[in-house]
Amino acid sequence: MSNSEEALSALYHALRAPRRRAVIHFLQQNDDEVITTRELARQIASREQGLTDQQATGEPYRNVYNALSQTHLPTLARAGIIIYDPQRQTVLHGKRFELAALLLEINTPTVKTFGSMTEENDDDPHNHR
């Protein structure tokens, strides 16, 4: 396997989890160069729970924080998408960040479009598989 194939596989693996995609989304929207794991956890927990950032506390926040620091951020860092400092609990764009963001930008609407088409076909009684 070539280096570019390995890099692409690592990118797609890193983009599999919704929380990892959310990290990329929030980093894109953040004007600061560095964001803390706490900020990311609060934003992701609030989104998952349908709460404001200030309301995202307690167990849901802790679950997201732990998952980010133990699994998701190291995975994104290994793929070169982010630079993660586990001691300082900070995150910033890595060398492959823009590529990962572009993949999400292209693939998300495509999957939504084809996903809705597939759902329509699933409802068709004449569709025999």
Contact indicator for 89, 38 with CB cutoff of 8 Å:
yes
Find where tokens 């190291």 sit.
74
Q: Alpha-carbon distance 118 to 21, whole Å?
A: 23
Contact indicator for 91, 23 with CB cutoff of 8 Å:
yes
pLDDT tens over the chain, length 129 residues: 788 888 888 899 999 999 999 999 999 998 778 999 999 999 999 999 988 888 888 998 999 999 999 999 999 999 999 999 999 999 999 999 999 999 988 876 666 677 666 665 555 555 554
pTM, entire model: 0.81
For 3-113, the fitting CATH number among 3.40.50.10470, 1.10.10.10, 3.50.50.60, 3.55.50.30 is 1.10.10.10
User: Residues near 6 by Cβ (< 8 Å), separated by ≥ 6?
Assistant: none
Domain boundaries, the chain: 3-113
